[in-house]
A = this chain, B = another copy of it.
């Protein structure tokens, strides 16, 4: 349930409302919307509490939230969540681009790619140190060393870093080295991992399970939020359908739907979402046009020899740079800001079909 408090209510009135709620053993979460303040209530709420709240000064009304998730819902938290990390704001009017290889392979590799991401205008360096792999005999990532290499490359080139964490016991070490922790598609409902991420003070990018509904994704986010970590980004990365030409079917409707149901930023992953390099460019543009708050894109200096075999969906560095310049032109049309270092305002035409 939520208590809607008038914008005109005095600070003490709001404090008193919260006090009344917490006296009944119910948690209160405050969120400021443009027209009013929302006090979310989680716990067992008795009718007597509702009646008492309705009579308190400053209270406009007490309402039920219709979803199984609460903290993640826009009803509960009407204004957009903006996650600020250093200078970068995610979920506000800025477009955020995260780029890098599928896996960290060596210090040289990640350093060179970081340089290229920065030069192209990206704000975040992506790279996997621990890799989830379908079979046990595939390359599983370079581990903790990879975290260190990536942290150094990020610091050197002025980039934030994001990396995947696969199991609760590695959350702390990943949180030590990376700026954003990623939950992969196979772990979206690894509830112990989600609970553990609720306890850390680092933002989390939560990828949609490849067969998860919007509702399930928002409930998974709720685990993290309910644990006390408010900084969650949702990520559409393609769903599994009958179509096998693409690795997944990138469901771009997820972007406006999730932004409608939730206040959390929504990131698109056109690399995994298509699994084909030649589709990354058009689907990146489409993601931005659909309203994405950011992108996570695979780029590799030598895609054909990547250690994970995912090179087929990685852009070459020049494609990545060119794509970011396109986004610079496209973003203002959609009401977003994005700038590349040199910003040569050239026009472009879709390349794929030529």
Q: Which residues of A contact B (CB under 8 A)?
A: 42, 68-70, 74, 80, 132-137, 166-169, 186-187, 189-193, 195, 210-211, 213-216, 219-220, 222-223, 226, 239-246, 249-253, 255-257, 259-260, 273-274, 278-279, 282-283, 285-291, 329-330, 332-335, 347-350, 352-353
Q: B274 touching A253 by the CB < 8 A rule?
A: yes
Is B289 in contact with A282, judged by CB distance below 8 angstroms?
A: yes
Contact A135 B222 (CB under 8 A): yes
**Supplied contacts A42-B137, A169-B169, A289-B290, 4 more A-B pairs, CB within 8 Å:** A166-B191, A187-B189, A210-B211, A285-B290
How many Å lie between the Cα of A345 and that of B286 in the bound state? Answer: 22
Best-buried of A189, A274, A352 by chain B (most CB within 10 Å): A189
Q: Within the assembled complex, what's the spacing in Å between the Cα atoms of A286 and B282?
A: 9
**CB pair A211 B240 closer than 8 Å:** yes
> How many copies of this protein are present in the complex?
4
Assess whether A213 is in contact with B335, with CB atoms less than 8 Å apart: no
Determine the chain B residues whose CB is within 8 A of the CB of A135 once the complex forms.
68-69, 219, 222-223
For the complex, give the distance between the alpha carbons of A162 and B288 in Å. 31
A191 to B187, CA, bound (A): 9
Report yes or no: A335 in contact with B352, Cβ–Cβ below 8 A: no
How far apart are A279's CB and chain B's nearest CB, in angstroms?
6
**Closest-CB distance, A310 to chain B (whole angstroms):** 15
A288/B289 contact (C-beta < 8 A), A256-B352, A278-B256, A352-B259 known: yes
- Which residues of chain B have C-beta atoms less than 8 A from A222's C-beta? 135-137
A243 nearest CB neighbor, chain B only: B213
One of B226, B239, B283 near A241 (C-beta < 8 A): B239
Q: Given the known A-B contacts A240-B211, A246-B257, A347-B335, are A252 and B286 also in contact in the complex, defined by CB atoms under 8 Å?
A: yes
| Residue from the list B80, B133, B335 in contact with A348, Cβ < 8 A | B335
Given A80-B353, A333-B333, verify A213-B252 contact (CB < 8 Å). no
A287 close to B286 (CB less than 8 A): yes
What are 22 sample pairs from A and B whose C-beta atoms fall under 8 A apart? A133-B191, A135-B222, A135-B223, A136-B226, A137-B222, A167-B168, A168-B169, A187-B190, A190-B190, A239-B241, A239-B243, A243-B251, A249-B253, A250-B253, A252-B283, A256-B278, A259-B353, A282-B289, A291-B350, A332-B347, A333-B333, A334-B349
| Set of chain B residues within 8 Å of A242, measured between Cβ atoms | 211, 213, 239-242
